[in-house]
A = this chain, B = another copy of it.
């Protein structure tokens, strides 16, 4: 990681050395990148640890140090649903990602070479523990709450399982205790698009020569499945593609939705590392909360939670609403006072990024009661 890539708001926490991985292997001199908003109180009791989806960096919201818009800009700030007037918010770039945290695209300090496929098998549990290490680096032992959408919604579940008693409250958004075979199939196909790109070179591609085609296809499939048919019918219909995306290719873009996919894919290829993508995607597939105990309810019973909020979206194809309902049921069975919100948003899995009025209201109201 080069220093010039570090935003001025970005800080780094060293992980315990060695940092042993859940499924075996270890990292040396590893770190995670994070940003913070608000003030830590004297008792160090007002911290919220925020985990991200698969692709965002730690820059959840703007700040004096970095005024650029964050990935959850309208959610995090003074007077916003995650109110930095009251809470000290820490957002971590997932371990295994490529925005300042150690991942497959980082240099292995023990060899001086990029990890690539020598990076150990990453699990959702490792991401949870690395995020907790960032909080500990600030002197925080117990979080007021852990919050996360999508992959982050899985990470907070793993946090409850492997770090019992380390958070009072938990907010899991569009997450799952274990992905369904439909979602496994889609993610497997996204990875295959990268693996079969000749430019992937078994993970040994050079810094300026990523497997662009594989990343493009993977991201386009992601973009499609993050949304819903109903939303796109409203948004794009069968409008012809913007002329800027037209090509001479007889099978090139015809419809507006194809131009949208192009723009999404190009942005992703320019910012995300293919091996990091493979590691994070596989970690989501293999995550299974039930591996941590006799039952999911039994795991939550040991987690020491004072309350929880579970949010799901009725139009979510990837993390279907039944999976969040099952989580809420297990939390209640474990005796954890739990709010369950079934969002009628039409934006599918990505609704937490788009339907801010609904999500903001639910999260703000819940945190206000904690």
Contact = CB atoms under 8 A, between A and B. Distances in A.
Interface of A: 117, 121, 178-186, 188-189, 191-193, 195-196, 198, 213, 216-217, 220-221, 224, 227-229, 232-233, 235-238, 249-251, 253-258, 261, 278, 282, 285-286, 288, 317, 320
A179 to B, nearest CB: 8
A221 B220 contact: no
Q: Which of A193, A195, A236, A251 has the most C-beta atoms of chain B within 10 angstroms of its own C-beta?
A: A251
A65 to B, nearest CB: 37
Contact of A181 (B180, B237, B278, B320): B237
A193 B195 contact: no
Contacts of A121: 250
A122 to B, nearest CB: 11
Contact of A249 (B180, B195, B261): B195
B224 A189 contact: yes
Given A189-B221, A189-B261, A217-B193, A255 B285 contact: yes
A238 B195 contact: no
Contacts of A320: 229
A185 B220 CA distance: 9
- Chain A binding site: helix, strand, loop or mixed by DSSP? helix
A180 B229 contact: yes
* Interface pairs A-B: 7 shortest CB-CB: A182-B229, A181-B257, A181-B236, A181-B232, A196-B213, A185-B257, A182-B232
A256 B189 CA distance: 14
Given A188-B253, A232-B181, A238 B288 contact: yes
Given A188-B254, A189-B224, 19 more contacts: A178-B238, A180-B229, A181-B232, A181-B233, A181-B235, A181-B238, A181-B257, A182-B227, A183-B229, A184-B254, A185-B224, A185-B261, A188-B261, A189-B220, A192-B216, A195-B251, A229-B320, A251-B278, A254-B286
Nearest to A290: B238
Nearest to A179: B238
A236 to B, nearest CB: 4
Given A184-B238, A238-B181, A282 B232 contact: no
A217 B192 contact: yes
A86 to B, nearest CB: 39
A156 B196 CA distance: 38
A249 B179 CA distance: 21
B217 A182 contact: no
Contact of A217 (B183, B196, B257): B196
Contacts of A183: 229
B317 A229 contact: yes
Given A192-B217, A217-B193, A282-B251, A232 B185 contact: yes
A213 B343 CA distance: 38
8 contacts: A182-B257, A184-B255, A184-B257, A185-B261, A189-B220, A189-B221, A196-B216, A196-B217
A126 to B, nearest CB: 16
Nearest to A258: B188
Q: Which of A188, A198, A282 has the most C-beta atoms of chain B within 10 angstroms of its own C-beta?
A: A188
A34 B285 CA distance: 44
Contacts of A178: 238
A308 to B, nearest CB: 24
A257 B186 CA distance: 10
